[in-house]
Chain A
Amino acid sequence: MMECNKLKRVDIIFCRKGFDLFEVVEKALSRDPDDLISDMIDSGLKGRGGAGFPTGLKWKLARNEEQDEKYVVCNADEGEPGTFKDREILDQVPEKVFGGMAICAYTIGAKKGYIYLRGEYNFLIPKLTEKLEIFNRSLKQIGLDFTIRLRSGSGAYICGEESALFESMEGKRGEPRNKPPYPTVQGYLGKPTVINNVETLVYAFMISRIGPEAFKEMGTKDSRGSKVFSISGDTPRPGIYELELGMTVEDFVNEFGDGDTKAVQVGGASGGCIPRKDFPNTIIGYEGIPTGGSMMLFNSSRSMYNVLHNYLEFFTEESCGQCTPCRVGCQQLLKGIESVKKGDRPPSYLRELVKLAKTMKIAAKCGLGQSVANPFVSIIKNYKEEIIH
């Protein structure tokens, strides 16, 4: 029997009441770094960008690296279609993000931190710069040798991939690196680096306030805590919601659907498309369908061909282009469904394309190329008729 929760709203990320932000930082810095890390591990917090790597472990790995120069990088290159939570977090509670970075820096021994903000969010720069100045000054006052700087992207989805992000920060094309080595060993400028998503950093910050127990109580065994969801598409209530992890898609649709939901795309364009029949038995979380928080709802008026076509256009353009499966594979999938639609290729060609997508999933160099198969296979499987006719 699968473990699941009812849909429950939570207020951790955006909550500002009942505490002084800087006191939380100060209190954390008075503790032993190893204790902070064990709290983080104990809390069960996993990366909220989508990949879900345990945050405490990441910090521990970086802490164990014996290097003078280390970095903390906040991944604010939120580019996944359907995701907009990081913008909202940075707009509303940027200090919590900074606080998470400072605590991380203290635990791993980093002196420099960077926020890599996507170019699309340039309008946030003045405000963030101003707040960062104050925050950096306060850190100095309490004696933590750590400074956060802002770096911006310039319109490239792939730079949200952590190693591509480092390349971009280093002034290069945002092309993902071979792994290993992983960032905690060789990240920005080849130095040990913790790179965390905006939301992850806020949870890290809040865990040091509310304690791992309170966080752990929420969610399920494999998906502890809550998560900020970006909800869009055919819904009467689009927007940002913090919800406990572990609910079923069914629960979610009951709350946010328009009564005619035929599919939910969980995890953005690179996530999977859940058809109505699977709503009740699909859990939103690492044990079911993991997500960076994007939930797009489609009602019965939508053509899933158009949806898939839009995704594939996106990937075709946003692939960095370096590896064969992704660069050429995306184009083949896009042109492939077009040719089936036009009747230039028989419907059976879709089978070849599904096989190709599966090769991309195991042979592409990074998460982008690997994840194109998620929407492709799930949409072809469930909406084949819409693709062909």
Chain B
Amino acid sequence: MTDVKKIINRTIREYGKERQALMPMLQAIVQVKNHLDDGDMIAVAEALNLSAAEVFGTASFYTFLDTEPRGKYIIRVCKTISCHMAGKDEIIKVLEKHLRIKVGQTTRDNMFSLLTVNCLGWCHKGPVMLVNDDVYPELTPKSAIEIIESYISRK
């Protein structure tokens, strides 16, 4: 059984086969794969007796349920007002330079994707970014790079 099939079965055991299971199921897949591909969405549709289009329509509504391939670590830099005022542009600039990609892109080794995102709820400690689920508030250009480096050394 593939990983995705296992995740689907596990989610069904916990949440049932009704549509309410859809979000937890998609979230669990994204947790492992960082995005949803065609096959994943079809498998989910099959499991919950939905059309693949419905699964895609729902997933694409949510920023974190990416239907495009992403790297192992997704960096999401907050771009909303407080972080904007606190200098998120500078953070993005150094990250782009350091990773040699633009916002929206993924590094060639598929390690990092760099994205911007709306308010992360750390307005008093901006600029802030998420790397997958982990939060990094009060960034400086230097600390942002150090954080990325720590992920690189983690592999």
Q: Are A314 and B80 in contact (CB under 8 A)?
A: yes
How close is B19's CB to chain A, nearest CB, in angstroms? 4
User: In angstroms, how far is the closest chain A Cβ from the Cβ of B151?
Assistant: 16
Bound CA span A232–B82, Å: 7
The answer to the question of B101 belonging to the interface, with a C-beta cut-off of 8 Å to chain A, is: no
When A154-B65, A169-B20, A231-B124 are in contact, do A82 and B133 touch as well, CB less than 8 Å?
no
Q: In the complex, are the beta carbons of A232 and B118 less than 8 A apart? A: no
CA distance A170 to B27 in the complex (A): 14
Say which one of B54-62, B91-99, B140-148 lies at the interface with A.
B54-62
Check if A155 is an interface residue, CB within 8 A of chain B.
yes
Count of interface residues, chain B, beta-carbon cutoff 8 Å: 38
With a cutoff of 8 Å between Cβ atoms, the chain A residues found around residue B126 in the complex are 232
- Across the interface, do B64 and A155 meet the contact criterion of CB distance under 8 Å? yes
Judged by DSSP, the binding face of A is: mixed
A170-B19 in contact (CB<8A): yes
Tell me, yes or no, whether A282 is within 8 Å of chain B by CB. no
Which residues from B are CB-within-8-Å of A168? 23
| Interface membership of A385, Cβ < 8 A | no
Q: Is B119 an interface residue (CB 8 A)?
A: yes
Q: Are A311 and B121 in contact, with the CB atoms below 8 A?
A: no
Is B84 among interface residues, defined by CB-CB distance under 8 A?
Answer: yes
**Can you spell out 14 A-B residue pairs with CB atoms less than 8 angstroms apart?**
A81-B82, A81-B118, A83-B121, A86-B121, A119-B63, A120-B117, A121-B121, A154-B65, A170-B19, A171-B21, A171-B58, A174-B62, A298-B85, A314-B80
Residues of B within 8 A of A (CB): 18-24, 26-27, 30, 48, 57-58, 61-65, 79-82, 84-85, 117-126, 130, 133-135
A120-B120, A120-B121, A171-B19 known, 15 other contacts, Cβ within 8 Å = A80-B119, A81-B82, A119-B62, A123-B133, A123-B135, A152-B27, A154-B63, A157-B118, A171-B18, A171-B21, A173-B58, A231-B124, A265-B81, A314-B118, A318-B118
